[in-house]
Amino acid sequence: KWIGDFDCELAKEFFAAFSTRAQCNLHVLVHHGGNAHHMIECIFKAFARACDSATKIDPRLGGAVPSTKGTLNA
């Protein structure tokens, strides 16, 4: 499916490449929507907010980035 000149499959490819290169898991779910343009716009906006939140320095943590890396046990 296309939105103007944008192939909607490129959004999926972007997130797959990001996940691979960042070595992280991404879970993208769109629960409702009928307009591909608005759904993709919403996905990117939510992703940007999640990245901002995940990398924001929290003064309550002594200036550290919020992370569970190195603290979870299998």
* Chain segment 2-22, per-residue pLDDT in tens: 888 989 889 999 999 999 998
- Give the helix, strand, coil percentages of the chain, each rounded to 5: 50, 10, 40
Q: Which residue has the higher pLDDT, 60 or 28?
A: 28
* In the chain, where the domains are located: 2-59
The residue-averaged pLDDT of 25-39 equals 90
Amino acid at site 8? C
**Quick one: tokens of 3?**
């939105």
